[in-house]
Each structure stands twice: as structure tokens, then as C-alpha cells.
Structure 1
Amino acid sequence: MYALQDVPGKGKGLVAIEKISKGTRILSEEAVVTVNESVGSERLRTSICKQVEALGENQRRDFLSMHNIHPYRNAAEQYLGIFRTNSLLAEAKNWNEKIKRHTVHALKDINKGEEITIIYLAPLKNRKARQKALQKKFDFTYLCHLCSLPLEQSQESDKRLEEIHRLDDVIDQLGTEGILVSPLRTLRYFDQQVRLYNEQGREDVGFAQAFVNAAQLVIANSDLARGRIFAERAASVWKTTLGGDSTPAIKHGALAQDPSKYELFGVSTKWKTKVDEAPQGLEPSDFEDWLWRREKPKALGQLANLRSRATFPGFTDLPDENDADQEFYKRSNIEIKDINGITIPLYFYTDSRGNELAPRQVQKGYTVAILYVKRHAFIFYEPGIRHKDPQTIKVL
């Protein structure tokens, strides 16, 4: 599957000698030294020292050959330094309690000849912060795919990761209120996180947790149909990242079978559905709109639906005054197609909210030209174009 080879500019590394499919278990190893992270430094040193001294000759020799960036004055400090330098897999949460082993899985397809890399730190940091932390903790500069992106792509990636982290903070602040009082707003945050992870092109524990959170939210509000689907998606990501025999994959697979087993099921009956009430025959995009309870706003010139929560949200679904986002309010939009025929929403954030375009200009088949256009990830809608300057748009 892989071999230890020289990697240009990096030294030795594991390189795939055949294509490795996403979700494949690459490594499965017993722990040589285990510790309780909550113990004090002195007890930690003592525990590690005893375990290393108890190793067989070959294992102990292998342990002592590992890299150590920490200075030491005696054997106990040497053992501790080696442990601190190399105990990264525990941080990556790859411990499989069922089989009592560390496991590493392919988070994407790995092509033949491609280096196999692992996560040293939680990815929710920008590139500069990651490099600084890695230099401090492991004394090297990391050159994985994420850290090697061209500057513009790296900056876009950093923005996505920082937004995911910001949304985590917002969700944490909402607490129980976010589940029971303003569930629709909270679901929108989870929706946005999943979209950002998809744009990031990676599946990891954070991606799985977003689906877990969404499942718990809707089940607490008695929505078993959506709860089952979110739990299935969470289990699928856990299976990819940690293996089908991991505790999270098994737990959420069982939850998908019977979402009513969740301890907070039925705390609210606001969204009550039966487990088999998911709609059938929808287009994928329409199904996602149903799943995430997205309500598309009316286009320019159309009458508003007075029952639509997208147009007239409830009080608890309004943004907090300290976290207000103008995209919550400025929602006039039209749909356009790009050169590839893909339909894209164009939202107007101008002072006139799109009314600067005369109705005769907003006609099917007309060409819309926009200068300096960029993609935008919205919290409440699918990704599209966020248009602010009326001077940079022309309808022909």
C-alpha cells in the first residue's frame, strides 16, 4: 500500500505505491505509551518513565530513536521529551477504543506516488498560526497540501477555516437557547459550516460534528425525518475518518436507525415529523433545501409570501444585535447562468436592494455583466454572488 521513501525537500516519508481509496485504514498500531492527560507533570513523567523502562529491548530501542526537540538532563526528561514530540496521533483523535489501537484513514483518494501526510494540529487555524505552532511544538516547517497552496488559495482557505471557527463560537454562545428557542437560526449556522467544509474539500472530525450537531438539533425538535438523514451523514464521515468499527461511527449509525433514542428527543415538537417522511424524487439541490429548511426568497418584482420564514422570520430567528449580518436583510435576487450553464443566485446588497434595475431589464435571456465578481458563501442561502456596487453591473 505504501513504502518509506525519500521525499524531495522533506527527508523520509510514506509514499503510496498504489492508489489508496478514501476511507481506507492505512495504519493500525497499538500504543507503546499511554497517559492520562489530566495528571500533573510530575506524575506524567513518572508514568512515562515506568512504561518505557518496561518495554522490551527492541521496542525501547525504537522509542529512543525517535526525534526529540526538548532538552533533557536525565532519562526521565528524555522519555518525556520524546513522548511530547511524537504523541501527535492522540491529538488527532485517532484512538479506536474498541480495538485499542491508533488508526489512520485516508480522508481522500491518495494517488500512486503521492506522499501520505497526517494532521498534526486542529485545522481551524490560518496558515501563519499553523506554521508557528508546528515550529514551536515540533521544530519543523510543515509542507502539506493545505500549507503549500498558492497565496490566493491559501488566503481563501484561511477565511473558510476562520469562519467555521467563528460559527463554532456563535453556536456555543447560543447554548440551549439555540436548540429550543431559535432552532432555525442555529440550523442555518450548521448549514453554513457544512458548506464551508465542502468548499474546503475535506472530511474530518469537525465536518462529522457539524452533522452530529444538526441531527441533535432537529431530533430535539421532534424532526425524525431530518434527524435520520443527518445521523446517517455523520456516521458516514466518522466511518471515513475513524473507521466503521469506531465508537462514533457505531453510535451514530445506531442513531440513524432510531433517532427517537436521542436523549433530548421531543423536548420541543416544533418540527415534528415521522422518520419516513423525507420527500422522494426531488432534485439533489431541492432535497438539500428541504433538509436544511432553506427558504428561497422571491425574485425582484414578485410578491412576498407572508407565510415565508425567509421573508418574515420569527423574533427568535433574528440575528443578535451584536452579531447582525446585513445579508440577513438584503435579499433581492435574480438567477443567472454562467458560461457553463450553471444556475447561480445573484443577491443585491446595493442601497436600492436591486431596484436600480428597471423591470424591463430583468428579463429571461438577457445578459448580465458584472465587473470584479467573486463567489460568496452566504449563511442563509446557497453560494452565489454578493453584488454591492450598482456601477459595476450591466444588463444587456
Structure 2
Amino acid sequence: MPLRIRPHSFRGVALAVAALTAALSWAPGSAAAPRPAAASAIPAASAAAIQAVNFEDNFDGPAGSAVDGGKWQIETGDNVANHERQYYTAGNANASLNGQGQLVITARRENPGNYQCWYGRCEYTSARLNTAGRFTQTYGHVEARMKVPRGQGMWPAFWMLGNDIGDVGWPASGEIDVMENVGFEPSTVHGTLHGPGYSGSGGIGAAYSLPGGQAFADAFHTFAVDWSPDSITWSVDGNVYQRRTPADLGGRQWVFNKPFFLILNLAVGGYWPGDPDGSTVFPQQLVVDHVRVTTSDTGGSGGTLRGLSGKCLDVAAANTANGTPVQLYGCNGSAAQRWTVGTDGTVRALGKCLDAASAGTADGTRVQLWDCNGTGAQRWSYNAATDDLVNIPANKCLDVLDNNPADGTPTQLWTCTGSANQKWSLVS
């Protein structure tokens, strides 16, 4: 469908117009998402071995206070793209803490500010929050524990957008819908991917339904994705119901190996859920107990990374300080040479990550140890068949400087040449 944005929509929010662009994907895309025959056909998710908490909000604070502005920004305005009916308000008018460690996003049938929407005078207010400019993540476990509202026309969602949306637009930015629910399906939630050639009604996804006609509005549930290079897996309360890889896209572009930011919102009406009717009771609330993003090495491989002249990749002096050089050194069995190549795209030692200094991508960028932060500087692809260890954003190899086998020789990024000083064998 064509995108139309009113000039006043989402005032005062950096990247807000970009964020609004992705909203058009929701209604038709998730409605058309295929459903698995049964959720039990896919095994339950295993417990993650958490290595780092990259983002967490437990919404602690006095009742009535606004969310932490260091973590979230509040979007304001209407949304013509989906023909939603609400006006998103600022501050704590429709998004506030309840004093019990929870965020409450409230949709009301009201218009206290004489707000104007695409269809005239707005009939409803609600709230939408995002972490753009405050937090982004590439890979890991992303989850929110929430209790959704109920009623015709309600449309709560927890989702993510590619942080490059301001440069490449939507859907090239990619969109990961962790959870969407529409009021006319009280027992069902949807998880969907949107990207170039599979956006809107062509989104790739699936649905999960509670057994026995239970409603998601009756209790809190945990909605999550486990995200690794070229793979995203959805779960509800630990029950996995779909996994998607580039093979599911029929040759179309996979745009999910880069940083994304988080979004929480409660929409009212729109193409997919339909508008509220006489059965809908207001106010309605989306209650969020926590949002958490962690990185995990679950399923990863550990050992030494042996390279030039049989020597090992080593953290200089076993120093855990940020910026410690990563070098070539004679293998000695120490923890400074024990690496985990994780399923989340990280390579870790001493509790920290292999990192391209200053997120550099040029030949000669030094490689160091740094706190794990989910950035592209810490995203690596290891190919055991060819012994290549490649920094994904740079598309360059981990290289021993000047092909020098001496102890203490620094490592760097360099254009992949297949030479011996770029070969690393993971030995358990």
C-alpha cells in the first residue's frame, strides 16, 4: 500500500518518521502469516547460558512517573499508514509506571488536547515508545513479559526496526515483530519478518495459540526471539513456535544481520484489527513487566583459535581491561587463549568480546578485547571449513600483522586473501 505521512505525525522524535514508515507492515502482513500445524511440533526452547545483559528495564519507579528517558523516547502523533485511530501522546499521559515494577500503556477513548488525526478529530489516545538513538542490538535473546489488553480494535505489539531505516528506508531496513495481537484473536499472537520483497501482506511469519481457548489478556506471558546470524527463532513462555532463516525467503534479501532498535506500542484500530465497536470497553492497558536483551553463547563452540605457525589467538597479559590488544602467542592453555565462538555472532574470552577498534572497517583496524555490546564491531562469522574468521560489517578477515609469527604480534582486520596469517582453526 502507498505510504502517506502527515507533516505533524510523530513530532519531536529523532528517526520518528522512519519509525512510522515501518508501521504500515503490520496489519496485512501478520494477518496473512502462516500458522504451524501445532506449536508442540517444535521442541521447547532450551535455557540460555546468559553471558551479558545488554539492555534491561524493570520499570521500577514511583506510580505515575514517566519511563526512563535514557532508555526510551516517546513518539507522538497519529498513523495514517495503517489507518489507526489513536493519537500517541507525550510524557506520562498514556505511558507511565504503576509503582509495582511495571509499565502501563493505556488506550483511552478521549481527546483532551483537541488532537487532529488523518480522519479528523482524534477519537482515542495511546502511547508508543522506542529505543532509537539510545539502544540497538545485533543478535541475542530479546524478550518482554507482558499482559495484553482485550477487545475489538486493540493492537498491542513488541517489535524491532533496523537502525539504518533513516538511510535505506522501509522495508529495506528490516522489521522483526516479536509479538503482535489483535483483539478479535484473544488466544493468538503473531511473529513476523518484513523486508524487501516480503513486506506488508507478504511478511514471513507464524502464529501461536494458547491451548483450551485461554486468552492472552488473562495473564502475563513472555514473548521472545533468539536471534543469531542468519537465524531467528520465536517463542512464547519458552515454547518455540517458528524459526526463520534466509532459506525461507525464496532468494529475497535477508536484512537481519545488523543493529535493530526496540518498539513497544498499543494501537487502536487499523486495517488489520478493525476499529473498536460497541463491545469494546475503554480504557484498555498493555502492562509490561520487563524488557530484557541478553547475549548468549548457547550452542557455541569453545577452544583455542590456532593460527600462524601453530600459535594461538591470545589476550595480551590476560588483561580484561577494555582495549587490551588481541595478539598471536605460543599456545599455553591459559584462559587468555580460551575462546567461545557463539551462536550470537560473538567471539569471547575472559567474559568479553573480540572487537574491531572504534568499529573500524578499514584494512589495518586493530582487534582488541571489549565489553560485549551487540555492535557490528563484535559480529564475526567463523567458517570451520576454510578456517576464516570474518568481521561481518567490514567483510574482512582476522589477520596477523605483517605475517609475523613472533609472540606478541598484534592482530588486525584485513581484506581476505586466503593467506596463512588469516587462518584460524578452532581446537577444543
The structure with the largest alpha-carbon Rg is: 1
Return the structure number with greater strand share.
Answer: 2
Return the structure number with greater helix share.
Answer: 1
TM range (shorter): under 0.3
Structure 2 length as normaliser, TM-score? Answer: 0.24
Structure 1 length as normaliser, TM-score? Answer: 0.26
